Homo-oligomer: A and B are copies of this chain.
Amino acid sequence: MKLKELADQLGLSQTTVSRALNGYPEVNKATRERVSEAALKFGYSANANARRLAIGRIGAIGILMPRDRSERFGPHTSEFFSGLAEQLSLHEMDLLMSPSINNDELAAYRRLISSKRVDGIIVTGPTLMDERVAMLTEAKFPFVLHGRTNIAAPHAWLDIDNAGAFRQATSHLLDLGHRHVAMIDGLKGHTFSEHREMGYREALVERGLPVDPRFIVHERFSDETGFHEAQRLLSYAPHPTAILAGSMMTALGVFRAIRSKGYELGKEVSVIAHDDVFPYLNASNMVPAMTTTRSSIRSAGSRIAELLVRVLDGEPVENIHEIWPVELVLRQSSGPPIAPRR
C-alpha cells in the first residue's frame, strides 16, 4: 500500500494524509484520527527510501565491521552493537553494518559517506593518531568515536577511564603487598591499550617501584593468548604474583595457566580482569569469583548512539566528550601475596 492509495481510500489528498501521519499541527484532530486508524488497518507504512529521498535524511547510522576475522569482532562487539541498537530504536533509526572491503578501511568509510546510506558513523577501536578520525573530521561528516585519540581537531567521543582502571587495579595490588605485577592487554597502538599501560606504569612509579618491560604484554584478546602469555610470565624468576588481564577472555586463559602451573589462584597468584560485562560470562560466578575493573560496554553503545543523534541535531561536537569512570570490584581472585607452600 502506498500513500496515494491510502489517500484515495480516505477521500483525502496525499498531502493531508502525509501531514496527519507525520504529526503536523495543522491537521484537524478528527481527520488525523481517521487517517491513523486507516493506516493501521491497511498496514500502511511509508516507503523508507522515498521518504528519505524526499527529506534528505537517511534515518540510519553506520558502523564498519572489519572484514578480518581476527581482531575486532569479538564478544565486545556484539554487546556494543546491542547497546547501540537499543538506543537507536528509540529514535527510529537503523543501524547499518557495512563490512570493509579489501582491508582498505578508509576507502570503505569514504564509500559509506558518498553513497549517502547513513547520516552518521560510529567509529570504534581508535589508535592514537587514528586516520579514520582525521579523515571524517576533515570531511565534516558526523561521527562519534568510542575511545579517544591524540588528534587535536574537535570531534565527539566517549571513552572509559582506561588509565584510571589499570592505575586503580595496580595500586590495589601493590597496596596488598605485591611487588611483581604483570599486565596482559590488547594490541599496542590502540588508545585503550596505551592508556591502560600508562595507568599501570603510574601506579608503579608513584611508589618508586621499577617497571619491568617483560611484565607488560600486548596481544590479541583471547583465552589462548591469555594462557600462553601467563605461562610465560609465570616461568620467570621471580615471577609475577599478580596479573592484570585486559579482557575476560584473556582472564580465562590466565586462570588456566595459573592452575596448570600448580599455583593457587587468588592466593599465590592474584588476577584482576577488565570486564566489559557479558551477560553470558559472569565474573562473580567464576571460581574463585574474579576481581574486575568493570564497565558496561553495552551502556557505552547506548550512550554513543544518543550522542550521535545529538550531533546530527546540530550540537557542536566540541561539547561532546565523556569519560566514564571504571569501578574496581573486589572478589576472590585477588588478595595479598602468599608464598607457595612447597
Contacts and interface: CB of A to CB of B under 8 A. Distances in A.
Contact of A286 (B73, B79, B256, B281): B256
Interface residues of A, number: 61
Interface in A70-87: 70, 73-75, 77-79, 81-82, 85-86
A67 interface: yes
Contacts of A94: 96-98, 117
Contacts of A44: 114
A9 interface: no
A260 B287 contact: yes
A152 interface: no
A95 B117 CA distance: 12
A49 interface: yes
Given A85-B97, A94-B97, A253-B285, A280 B58 contact: no
A148 to B, nearest CB: 24
Nearest to A223: B281
Nearest to A42: B114
Contacts of A282: 222-224
B221 A280 contact: yes
Interface string A108-136: 00110011110000000000000000000
A73 B69 contact: no
A13 B116 CA distance: 22
A89 B67 contact: yes
Nearest to A97: B95
A88 B97 CA distance: 10
A252 interface: yes
A25 interface: no
A89 B85 contact: no
Contacts of A58: 49
Given A43-B110, A75-B75, A69 B279 contact: yes
A160 interface: no
Contacts of A67: 86, 89
Nearest to A228: B285
A47 interface: yes
A45 interface: yes
Interface string A251-262: 011001001100
A116 B47 CA distance: 5
A249 to B, nearest CB: 5
Nearest to A298: B69
Nearest to A43: B114
Contacts of A338: none
A115 B48 contact: yes
A336 interface: no
A227 B81 CA distance: 27
Nearest to A221: B280
Contacts of A281: 222-223, 249, 252
B298 A96 contact: no
B97 A81 contact: yes
13 contacts: A45-B114, A45-B115, A47-B115, A48-B115, A49-B49, A65-B81, A73-B79, A85-B99, A89-B101, A94-B96, A95-B97, A223-B285, A252-B281
Give the 7 A-B CB pairs with smallest separation, nearest first: A78-B78, A45-B114, A89-B99, A222-B280, A85-B99, A224-B285, A45-B115
